[in-house]
Structures are given as C-alpha cells and as structure tokens.
Amino acid sequence: MAKVQPRTLSGFMELLPPRQIQFDRMMEIIRRSFSLYGFTPLDTPLIEASEVLLAKGGGETEKQIYRFTKGDSDLSLRFDLTVPLAKYVSLNYAKLAFPFRRFQIGKVYRGERAQRGRFREFYQADIDVIGDGQLDISNDAEIPAIIYRTFTSLGLNRFQIRVNNRKVLNGFYAMLGLTAQAGAIMRTVDKLEKIGEKSVRELLTAPDIGLTDEQAAEILKFIAIKGRNAGVLAALEGYRGRDPKFDEGLDELSAVAKNLTAFGVPETHFVLDLTIARGLDYYTGTVYETAMLDHPEIGSICSGGRYDNLAEYYTDKQLPGVGISIGLTRLFFVLEDQGYLNDDLNTAPADVLILPMTGDMGPAIQLATYLRDRSLQVQIYGEQKKFKQKMSYADKLGVPYVVLLGEDEIKQGKYALKDMRSGEQKLLATEEVFREISTHAGAGGGAKPILDKGE
C-alpha cells in the first residue's frame, strides 16, 4: 500500500508522553490555583461565526486568523479567549452573577510566520473578572496574588510581576500638554530597555514626535522613578493635584499595592514599573506584565490589565473588567529550552507495572484491581515475552515499581515488589504492596513541574 508521510504541522506543539505529562501537570496546577480564587471554568467553541469573532474588525490579528467557509457559513478559529468571553457574557448576561469571574484554558490559533518558539496553535490560560456597570479596584489587586500563587505552585521562583496604571501615564502626559502624542511617546519609551536612554531621547525629540528637550527630560525623569513600591508611590504623590485622571490612577495604583502583604505576595515579586504601557487602545487602568528575571529576553510571560468595556461590539451594557493571560505553550517551550523542566518529576504512566510470569492472569488482575481501588495507577503487562524484554519495557516506561508474579509467589499468595530506583526487591502481601508503593511512588508525582534553581 502506498504510504503517506506522517507529519505534524510546523507551529503546532505535539509532545512525547513524558513531556505531555509535565505539560498536563502544569495545566492542572494552574486550574487548581485559579479555582482557589472562585473563578468558574468556561469552555467555549474553537469555531465562531466570523461576523461575531471579527466584530471589532481590522488590525494586525485579522491577517493571522484561520478563516474558512463550510456550507454557506463564514467561520473563524478563535485567536484569543477574550472575544469569546465578550460574546459569552453578552449572550448570557441575564443568567450570570456579576462580578462574573471565569477562567478558561484552551487552544487559540494564529497563523504567525513559522519561527522557532512561535506557535500557530497554542494554549492560553486566562482569568477575567467582569463587572456589571462597575468593578471595584480590589479585583485589580487580587490578580497579582493569583499569578504569584500560580507560578510559585508550578515551581517558578525568579519572576517579577510589574504593574502600572494607564491613567497615571495618560494623566502625566496631559499635564505636559502631550495627550495627542501620548501613544507615540509610550511606544518609544517602551523601547528603553532595548535601545537605551540616549536613543529614546533622540527619538522623542526627532521631528516625528517633536518634543522639546525639556519635555523629553521630564518624561525620562518620570519613567526613571524606580525602587521600592513605597518610594515610587511617594514620588508619584509629588505630581498630585495637576490632573484629575492622574490622581485617579495614583489612587488605584496605591490601592493595588496596598494589600499585597495580606495577599502573601513579597515585594521581590511585585514592583510598580512606570515603563509598562501595554495594548494601547484596549487597557484603561491597571496593566500587568511578568518577567522571568534571569531571561528578560523572553519578554512578558503573563500580561493583562483593566479595560472599561469588554463587549461594546455586542451590547450596550457597560461591562468593565480586569484580567490576565498566560501564554502556556510558549511558556512551556521556553521552560524546556532553558532547562527549567523538572526531570525528577515522575512522568511514568503507572506507579507500578505488574509482570505475570505464568499463563494465569488472575492473581495479577486481582492485585491490580485492589491497588486501583485505592487510587494507584497500575499497568498489567500481558504480552508473552521473555523476562528481559519485560524488564526493558518497565525501564522504558520509567515506572518506579515492578511486581513479579511467578508460580512461587502465587503459591504463597505474595508478590515480589521491586523498587526500580534502588533495585531492592521484597516479598510482600497485598496490603504491604499497597503501603510500600503509596508511601514512595507519590514522592515524584507530588514534585513541582518546574525546577527553578534561583531563589
């Protein structure tokens, strides 16, 4: 028969079993972490009517969208989880309780240029809190706490959540009479880390933006405000009273910073950073980015912010919200690439492999059923192979335990349990097998999927 060459499309992540188990464990930890904060899971379709999905229209994203027709329907694959959320909330408005807190972990699609570490199909893990008409600032304060718990639960330590407020920025530019140029200025200032202060100053005073030297100096002085959060807030207080938007933003930023300790987030992992701007036409208040401290080149691994109106394309209801998103597939790629994945994690599909040595499968099945009833993962190896091949299979799977079940053992009603790490072998009764495995096999399973050598 003529064969078709099997392949997986480029830009689509497909993992081997041990890595898949690590990925799934990360997803599970994220899911559990989000759930602790009272978010409800959603699962919206991958496909939406193009008219609905692209209601906002235009923009860079549209070119990347997977769009096609089926019958006479014009369909598109979702490119993020925010537009489906806007649709869902508009559609089910009367049936939801507000604030509506939802998380969604799902695949999204963007036809990006193929390139190492860029994915066309990738998981996003999003949380959003949507208010009906209004939404208290305390929600903005909780988001960094959720991300802090999520990342530390995964085993990541050397990261920093950076927070700013768009009203502070816009208010500041209004003070200088530069509201019209604010967008261009922020895009330029955003390059500070990459191109340095001198180049930023040149761009700001070049004809395109056209600031005076004094204005450029004011801006550079402002964004140079750094240090501990209390110091940053104090410096910002010096600008109070000159623009109402600025004052409002400063109040919000202070409120977000205030309760961090109560939320259990140390200041090492949360900084006020006036250079963060993000999504210029979408976010309206608090904005978040998250950096890996030892890999700034990777950019933000988790970003989001406050928006005034989630669903203006679908409904007249004013639905303000705040949310954040982890680009999970890219994060996993980066973690593997940088050696952050914990290879001590038990990624075997079973806690124990039972090797029957006689033709009678009965005793093997009885033991397996006993252990499974007690939540252990058990595989019976039923193939007629030589002992060496059976053991080599156990090695290949990486199972922590093997049970050998020959005639002697069956006669005695016992099991030979071999610890594959130590090589030690013991003759045990059923309950002892359970006790031994459940005490020790869990050790790897409970480990964190990320091993961050930093503190």
As a whole number of angstroms, the distance between CA 28 and CA 22 comes to 10
As a whole number of angstroms, the distance between CA 378 and CA 395 comes to 15
Residue nearer to its own copies on the CB measure, 45 or 210:
45
Q: Judged by CB under 8 A, does residue 406 bind its own copies? A: no
Number of chain positions touching its own copies (CB under 8 A): 105
Range 209-248, binding its own copies (CB under 8 A):
none
As a whole number of angstroms, the distance between CA 190 and CA 451 comes to 31
Residue nearer to its own copies on the CB measure, 96 or 451:
96
Q: Find out whether 113 and 234 touch, Cβ atoms under 8 Å.
A: no
The least CB distance from residue 443 to its own copies, in Å, is 18
Phi, psi for residue 308 in degrees, rounded to 5: -80, -30
| Single-letter code of the amino acid located at 302 | C
Residue nearer to its own copies on the CB measure, 135 or 219:
135
Q: Judged by CB under 8 A, does residue 377 bind its own copies? A: yes
Range 103-162, binding its own copies (CB under 8 A):
107, 109, 111, 121, 131, 134-139, 141-142, 145, 149
Residue nearer to its own copies on the CB measure, 301 or 380:
380
Range 315-374, binding its own copies (CB under 8 A):
315-316, 349-350, 353, 361-362, 365-366, 369, 372-373
* Strand stretches in 204-282, DSSP E: 270-272
Of 185-193, 230-238, 285-293, 312-320, which segment contacts its own copies by CB under 8 A?
312-320
Evaluated on CA atoms 290, 82, 49, 281, the torsion sign reads negative
The least CB distance from residue 437 to its own copies, in Å, is 13
Q: Judged by CB under 8 A, does residue 47 bind its own copies? A: yes
Q: Judged by CB under 8 A, does residue 48 bind its own copies? A: yes
Q: Find out whether 129 and 146 touch, Cβ atoms under 8 Å.
A: no
CA torsion angle 227 265 155 339 (round to 10): -10
Residue nearer to its own copies on the CB measure, 196 or 264:
264
Of 8-16, 183-191, 338-346, 427-435, which segment contacts its own copies by CB under 8 A?
8-16
Edge-first strand listing for the sheet containing 302-307: 40-41, 100-109, 121-130, 321-327, 302-307, 286-292, 159-165, 270-272
Q: Judged by CB under 8 A, does residue 95 bind its own copies? A: yes
Evaluated on CA atoms 27, 29, 33, 35, the torsion sign reads positive
CB atoms within 10 A of CB 408: 12
As a whole number of angstroms, the distance between CA 217 and CA 221 comes to 6
Q: Judged by CB under 8 A, does residue 382 bind its own copies? A: yes
As a whole number of angstroms, the distance between CA 179 and CA 215 comes to 13
Q: Which of 169, 311, 331, 341 binds its own copies (CB under 8 A)?
A: 311
Q: Which of 79, 88, 283, 288 binds its own copies (CB under 8 A)?
A: 88
The least CB distance from residue 207 to its own copies, in Å, is 35
Q: Judged by CB under 8 A, does residue 94 bind its own copies? A: no
Q: Judged by CB under 8 A, does residue 387 bind its own copies? A: no
Provide the mask over 162-201, with x wherever binding to its own copies is found by CB under 8 A and - wherever it is not.
----------------------------------------
* Strand stretches in 154-198, DSSP E: 159-165
- Output DSSP code: residue 420: T
Q: Judged by CB under 8 A, does residue 101 bind its own copies? A: yes
As a whole number of angstroms, the distance between CA 407 and CA 404 comes to 10
Q: Judged by CB under 8 A, does residue 40 bind its own copies? A: yes
